[in-house]
Chain A
Amino acid sequence: MAHASARRDPARARERTLLALAAPALIVLAVLFVWPLIRLLSMSVEGGTLAQFEKAALDELYVAVLWDSLEIALIVTVICLVLAYPVAMWIVQAGRLGFILGMFFLLLPFWTSVLVRTYAWMVLLGRNGIINRMLRDWGWIEFPLPLLHNLLGVLIGIVHVMLPYMVIPIYAALLRIDPDLKRAAEGLGAPAWRTFLRVTLPLSLPGVFAGSALVFVITLGFFITPALLGGGRVVMIATLIEQQVREFLDWNFAAALATVLLVVTLAIYALLGRLTGGQGHAAR
């Protein structure tokens, strides 16, 4: 008993110290994020009416666009996951040089503005773009492939931007896995695929969850990439919010749209957390 409380006290003191250290960041968050968020929410019900919400949540235009945005975010998340997992595994196993090379190529695009990268994709994917011209010169195709100004172009552009957000959390999770666990599985006669399915994959799920949540949520907020690579045909909810904010100054309606988006995002986030969080815990 006495032993236990003696151990708890320094722990509590450390907790206090950590809280004190985190305080500046928490205050900054409260002032610059939580307060504006509250203002935003209150703006959506300005005048004591729910009319803005009625329009945002029931009008088929906004519902359809929100649905499309969720669909795009989901597809991007799945593609990123499929592409990112092997890359993360490779970086973990490739040693020092692999780590440096992998991270370099992964983070390189981060230093270029999204707008520039989007224009670069337009040069590559266009009807007379580099890819189509190459394929035609080789005689593989007769007519240019529609790679741009449609959903495909949008997906390519967003996946390119979002990939690092998926690789890095998975990489971190894989790195934390004790190599002895894998050796033990192999020692007990498990083939490589079973070791992966029963040991590596479950233990990396927190990273998968973190990466997926990041990619999904950030993708929902994209607007310049879909506008440029979608040729105007792919509309995402952020585009409509931006229109209301900047073009029509209808901030009450924009706030309602943003609130609906926030609620939907949080709901999905909670659902994802319950699904993968539960499994990750059980595996431990």
Chain B
Amino acid sequence: MSIRMTRRAALGAGLAAATLPMPAIGQGNAPKPDRIVVNASGGAMANLFRRTYNAEFEKRHGIRVVDTSPVDFGKLRAMVESGNVEWTVTELGGQDFVRAKQMNLLEPLDLSILDLSRYPEAVRDTHVFPSSVYSTVMAYRTDVFPNGSHPKSWAEFWDVRRFPGPRSLRNHPVDNLEFALLADGVAKDKIYPIDMDRAFAKLDQIRQHVTVWWTTGAQPAQLLVDREVVLASGWNGRFFDVANKGAPVSIEWSGGSAKQNAFGIPRGCKHPYWANQFLQVMTTPQLQAVYATELAYPGLHPDTVNYVEEKVRPHLPTTPANLEKQFWLGVDWWTENGQKAQEAWNRWMLRRG
């Protein structure tokens, strides 16, 4: 019974969104499913999602939000291709959103429901919702490098004589090839297209000083806390979190690799109307500010920063003073060359010595 109801409601919502030209009428008449499914990163983030966006959506529309994780590109493709789309909206990891769009795995956004008019032009897209900004940055132990004596560029990160101690980098070519080029003296605006030979040659120099090539986002912060390493690359929110809890860890924004986190609606989604409504809830500056205050991942609504707690603002990647020290990751280059770079990376990692 309840399954039949849901299916009929789903069909109704789909039809409403697809056929009705006026969103106002759609809103009035779109039958409500009893729940939608939001797939995103789990852990602390899921918790915060529940308290902010999910709670607000439930309050506004009276539809329950079920959250699932993890973010899985392979699963997204399998869902879309099998026609059994379980997610209403999903986060898209890393740089996958470009390929998700290219491979026709996403529904177009309905900009009559989802209002992005105040968003920066550069991040507006027909299929991809830019949810927040994060950055891969350098972090260091403040007790090992006190009073600003830490490396202040990737060139200095590479300088093991002036800044001795074990380091950690991600076991992945993304960001690392850029960092290597910056360390080798390439200017921020000349990184792309990446000269892979030059990047790997530079990585050769740091290789034996990197004791851990990290895999999961929680690792680098933990490695610094445990003093397994004294310098590490990692996602700014993770370092922000341990520093807030009192760990002697701090971020150097120079040479950080800024990028956007993205959400999309899987093609064949059962409730595209409500998917767009959910994304609309995610544009709320006050809620984005809660998210930014706790995780240091600010949303892209220009008003968000006004609601972020004063003391957190210097720790956001989008704060002007921080932003000008970083570069924007070249998503297009990685979409084109990602697989080739990964294979080169695997070969490089496997080389003995």
Contacts and interface: CB of A to CB of B under 8 A. Distances in A.
A126 to B, nearest CB: 5
B74 A227 contact: no
B72 interface: yes
Contact of B350 (A128, A235, A249): A235
Interface residues of B, number: 27
B349 A128 contact: no
Contacts, number: 60
A129 B223 CA distance: 11
Contacts of B211: 127, 149, 231
B349 A232 contact: yes
Interface in B7-53: none
Contact of B226 (A126, A149, A247, A249): A126
Interface string B152-189: 00000000000000100001000000000000000000
Given A232-B171, A235-B349, A247 B342 contact: yes
A46 B116 CA distance: 42
Given A126-B226, A126-B228, A61 B346 contact: yes
B200 interface: no
B227 interface: yes
B164 to A, nearest CB: 14
A231 B343 CA distance: 18
Interface in A247-262: 247-250
Contacts of A249: 73-74, 77, 99, 103
Interface in A195-220: none
B347 A231 contact: no
Interface stretch (A1-9, A80-88, A238-246): A238-246
Contacts of B338: 247-248
A228 interface: yes
B215 A233 contact: no
Interface of B: 72-74, 77, 99, 103, 166, 171, 211-216, 219, 222, 226-228, 338-339, 342-343, 346-347, 349-350
19 contacts: A61-B346, A65-B350, A122-B222, A127-B211, A127-B226, A127-B227, A127-B228, A128-B227, A228-B215, A228-B216, A231-B211, A232-B213, A233-B213, A235-B349, A246-B72, A247-B338, A249-B74, A249-B103, A250-B339
